[in-house]
Structure formats: structure tokens, C-alpha cells
């Protein structure tokens, strides 16, 4: 992939960089993206129909077991060179913000320190009835288990469709997007809101917007630079070009 010299020069001299990642950055870690065909038992379900409070109310066991299946994939997955490159970039840029729609925790496992999780994290549980947050690692029986505090069902601590995003994370993501010099959109289909509006805020303040994705998205036509390829190859190449050892 040829990285435009003008982009290298811009990143070299930028003090403020914001990055938004989606399921595509975890694809090379073996985690299916949100919209590609799911495998096996789950192939018959549309994730957008499972990741809702209504689906959980109608069939808590089905939704809980879908997340247990995904937790198994995440537990076996390792951060890939794309995740690792963003951890290197964070160390090189004075004011770096990593915003993720992913719920797999791979950015943290790759060494990224300041990660804004817009859609929560599936390694955490919370109570569906009262939102009591549980200590990590409390293994309880049941599918889904019951909250030890109030007896309601447990659910994964992720944001479902129709639910509001965590206020603090969204506020910080908006702030970073409106204050950045460069905004990277990596591995996202750019259709889930409000995350998909973040690159628009960056464009609105004159930031350089870079899309890294093997496919086109609704953002492609608006981006300043489009690096069409897999994040696990493009990001390490970009980091090596801008910050050679
Ligand atoms: C909200 C967590 C306010 C769960 C997720 C009607 C009613 C209510 C709301 C709405 C509505 N109509 C629209 C909305 C808004 C809705 C929305 O945006 N819907 C979309 C579908 C139109 N949003 C919401 O509901 C949000 N909340 O609006 O609150 C509100 C409150 C109450 C009432 C009304 C409004 C909540 C959205 C959060 C949903 N939760 N995840 C879980 O994961 O189980 S979203 C889910 O999609 C994942 O987080 C995922 O990350 C995210 C976005 O998808 P992508 O990450 O982009 O993944 P995708 O598979 O789509 O694309 C992968 C991309 O990677 C592709 O482009 C592919 O080409 C690329 N790729 C593949 N391989 C690679 C690669 N790229 C790089 N390298 C590779 N190797």
C-alpha cells in the first residue's frame, strides 16, 4: 500500500489524533465482524435483532448464549498488528484518543491505555433489572444467571440498539472529534449512530479524516484519505512510515 507522503507529513507534525475503530479491526484476530455472516448456530440470526433489550426480554437464554459464544471467541483471540500499531501510535502522539465501538477489550490487551468504549465491554456483566454492576469474574450459574443483589437476570455490560451510550465516554469522544487535527476511521461500516457521526464532527472542524477499510462505506466519499486494505496490514505500515524506529 502506498501511504501518501502528505499524510505522513501531516501525522508527523500533528499533536492531536483521534481514532474510531469498529469490528473490522478485530476481524484479523478471528472475531467475526458485526455484519458479516455469523457462523454455525448463529448464522440464522441477525445480530441487530439479538443485540436489543426486546430480544433479551423475549428470549433471555438465547441472547445470553449468543454472548457466551462470543465471549469464547474473544477469550481465544489475540490482539493483532492493527491493535498493536494503535498502542504504538498512542505513545508517539501528544494528545491521542482511541474511541472504539468494539466490546472485545482487545485494544486494552494490546497495550492501549486510554480507550473510550462507546458500546461497553462483553467481558463485564450487569443486572438487567437495576443495572447493578458486578465484580469481574463472579461466575454464577444459570443461563442467564440471576443478579446476587436483586435476583433479576444478568446481561452483558454492552449497549444494545435503542439504548443510550455511556454519557462520559460519548462526551469525551465528541470532545476529541471536535478538537482533533487527524481522525482515523478504522474497520467500521460507519452506519451505527451516534459513533458514525464522529468523523463528521472532525470534518466540521477541518480535521484530516483517514478511512482504513478494505471496503467502501458511507464515509469513503467524504474522507480526505482512503487507505483501502486490512487494518492489520495498513496500520503497522502507516506507523512505520510516520514513526520509523
Ligand atoms: C442510540 C454492542 C439513542 C452490542 C452495538 C431506531 C430506534 C432506536 C435507535 C435507532 C433507530 N434507528 C437508528 C437508530 C440508532 C441506532 C443505529 O445506529 N442503528 C443503525 C443500525 C442504523 N443506534 C442505536 O440504537 C444506539 N443508541 O441511538 O441511543 C436512543 C436511545 C433510545 C431510543 C432511541 C435512540 C446504540 C448503538 C450501539 C449498538 N450496539 N454493539 C454488541 O456488540 O453485541 S453496535 C455494533 O455495530 C457493534 O458495536 C459494532 O462495532 C457496531 C458498528 O458496526 P461495525 O463495528 O462497523 O462493524 P460492521 O460489521 O458493521 O462493519 C465492519 C467493517 O469492517 C466493514 O466496513 C468491513 O468492510 C470492515 N472490515 C472487515 N475486515 C476488516 C475491516 N476493516 C479493516 N480491516 C479488516 N481486516
142: left (phi over 0), alpha (psi -120 to 50) or beta: left
**19-23, 34-38, 76-80, 195-199, range with the lowest pLDDT:** 34-38
CA of 27 to the centre of ligand 1 (A): 15
- Distance CA(157)–CA(126), nearest Å, equals 5
| Helix, coil or strand: residue 148 | coil
CA of 224 to the centre of ligand 1 (A): 23
**Average pLDDT for 165-190:** 98
Q: Are 31 and 123 in contact (CB under 8 A)?
A: no
CA distances from 6 to 10, 47, 90, 202 (A): 6, 39, 21, 18
Label residue 153 by pLDDT band (50, 70, 90). Answer: very high
Nearest to 159 by CA among 116, 201, 213: 116
Four-CA torsion 225, 79, 172, 163, nearest 10 degrees: 100
Nearest residue (by CA) to ligand 1, atom 53, is 192
- The yes-or-no verdict on residue 200 having pLDDT over 90 is yes
Q: In 10 A of CB 123, how many CB atoms? A: 17
Higher pLDDT pick, 39 / 195: 195
Buried b (16+ CB within 10 A) or exposed e, 42-81: beeeebeebbbeebbeeebeebbebbeebeebbeebebbb
Label residue 37 by pLDDT band (50, 70, 90). Answer: low
Q: What is the mean pLDDT of the chain?
A: 94
Residue 59: partners with Cβ closer than 8 Å, 6 or more residues away: none
Residue 158 Cβ inside 6 Å of ligand 1? The answer reads yes
Residue 178: partners with Cβ closer than 8 Å, 6 or more residues away: 201, 202, 204, 205
> So which residues are the catalytic ones?
119
Percentage of residues in the chain having pLDDT higher than 70: 96
Nearest residue (by CA) to ligand 1, atom 29, is 164
The Cα angle at residue 200 between residues 158 and 111, in degrees rounded to 5: 50
Residue 231 Cβ inside 6 Å of ligand 1? The answer reads yes
Q: Which residues face 125 on adjacent strands? A: 156
Residue 191 Cβ inside 6 Å of ligand 1? The answer reads yes
The answer to whether the bond into 144 is cis (omega within 30° of 0) is yes
Note the pLDDT tens digit of each residue in 110-131: 999 999 999 999 989 999 998 8
- Distance CA(176)–CA(170), nearest Å, equals 10
Residue 37 Cβ inside 6 Å of ligand 1? The answer reads no
- Distance CA(57)–CA(34), nearest Å, equals 21
CA of 95 to the centre of ligand 1 (A): 26
Ligand 1 atom closest to residue 194's alpha carbon, by position in its atom list: 28
Residue 35 Cβ inside 6 Å of ligand 1? The answer reads yes
CA of 12 to the centre of ligand 1 (A): 31
- Distance CA(122)–CA(155), nearest Å, equals 9
Ligand 1 atom closest to residue 47's alpha carbon, by position in its atom list: 44
Amino acid at each position: 500500500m502506498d501511504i501518501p507522503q502528505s499524510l505522513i507529513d501531516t501525522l508527523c507534525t500533528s499533536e492531536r489524533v483521534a481514532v474510531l475503530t469498529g469490528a473490522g479491526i478485530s476481524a484479523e484476530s478471528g472475531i467475526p465482524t458485526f455484519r458479516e455472516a455469523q457462523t454455525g448456530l448463529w448464522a440464522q440470526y441477525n445480530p441487530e435483532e439479538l443485540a436489543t433489550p426486546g430480544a433479551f426480554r423475549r428470549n433471555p437464554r438465547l441472547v445470553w448464549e449468543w454472548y457466551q459464544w462470543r465471549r469464547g471467541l474473544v477469550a481465544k483471540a489475540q490482539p493483532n498488528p492493527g491493535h498493536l500499531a494503535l498502542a504504538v501510535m498512542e505513545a508517539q502522539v501528544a494528545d491521542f484518543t482511541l474511541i472504539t465501538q468494539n466490546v472485545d477489550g482487545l485494544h486494552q490487551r494490546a497495550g492501549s491505555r486510554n480507550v473510550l468504549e462507546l458500546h461497553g465491554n462483553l467481558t463485564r456483566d450487569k443486572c438487567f433489572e437495576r443495572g447493578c454492576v458486578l465484580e469481574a469474574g463472579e461466575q454464577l450459574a444459570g443461563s442467564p444467571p440471576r443478579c446476587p443483589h436483586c435476583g433479576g437476570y444478568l446481561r452483558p455490560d454492552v449497549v444494545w440498539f435503542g439504548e443510550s451510550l455511556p454519557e462520559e465516554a460519548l462526551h469525551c469522544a465528541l470532545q476529541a472529534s471536535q478538537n482533533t487535527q487527524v481522525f482515523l476511521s478504522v474497520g467500521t461500516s460507519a452506519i451505527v449512530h451516534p459513533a458514525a457521526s464522529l468523523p463528521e464532527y472532525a470534518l466540521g472542524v477541518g480535521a484530516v479524516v483517514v478511512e482504513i477499510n478494505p471496503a467502501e462505506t458511507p464515509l469513503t466519499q467524504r474522507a480526505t484519505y482512503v487507505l483501502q486494505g486490512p487494518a492489520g496490514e495498513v496500520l503497522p505500515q502507516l506507523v512505520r512510515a510516520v514513526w520509523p524506529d
